[in-house]
Amino acid sequence: MKGRPLRFTPRRDAGLYAYERALEHAGFGPVAGVDEAGRGACAGPLVIGAVILHGGRGRIEGLTDSKLLTPARREALYAEITERARAWSVVVVPCHDIDRIGLHRCNITGMRRALAALAERPAYVLSDGFPVPGLEVPGLAMIKGDQVAACVAAASIVAKVTRDRIMTELHERYPEYGFDVHKGYVTKTHGAALDTYGPCAEHRFSYVNVGRALRDNGGVALGQETGGEVPGEGRTEGARA
């Protein structure tokens, strides 16, 4: 279903809840936000979060783009969101699905899955960056949505914290790559580890730098404990306050 435009666009200085408030006043409540973490990484899963927040006195203060927060602040807000949100869910898409299906298709499918997993059906969806086709409710894609809409910011935090925890777990199985530091993103340290050890089973082999490292090293470093599986692979989690 195509999204219906708002009759007006809330001012950016109207507060992080302005879009939800305008939509609910127009009869489009509840409003869900959806966002992903790990799109730009070359190792580890793609993680998608979806959140419906309470309005009024149930608002959560301090929400913003998860990348602008310190790890400690993200963890604190994650705990508050998962305890106090009207509904939330998270979907983990493993790296081999990204190689097989493609990053963008995994992202869109993961967003639809995360929204479908919410304990309450939203009447409107706000997404960060690009639209989510195939929904049964209207939606709006927002540039820097995690900085202008509270529910999208909350979704970005849920996705980011979940993914960071997974990458920290993977570090215990593949300590040579430093996943606990760079979380699978392309850095000089990560590139040097790829050059030295070649990719492991949690790298995305469809990515140019990983494919080059595989050719140069001629093998894949498999984790003995997991056989190359992401902890919680393919899982969907959710709860309602």
Asked if 109 contacts 98 with a C-beta cutoff of 8 angstroms, the reply is: no
Please report the domains of the chain, with CATH numbers, ordered by start residue. Answer: 12-165 (3.30.420.10), 168-217 (no CATH)
**pLDDT, position 20:** 94
**pLDDT, position 27:** 94
pLDDT averages per 10-residue partition of the chain, 241 residues: 50 75 93 97 98 90 91 97 97 97 97 97 95 95 93 97 98 97 96 95 95 82 44 45 30
**pLDDT, position 216:** 82
Give the predicted TM-score (pTM) of the model: 0.86
**pLDDT, position 1:** 40
What are the CA-CA distances from residue 31 to residues 16, 137, 181, 232 (Å)? 13, 10, 34, 28
**pLDDT, position 192:** 95
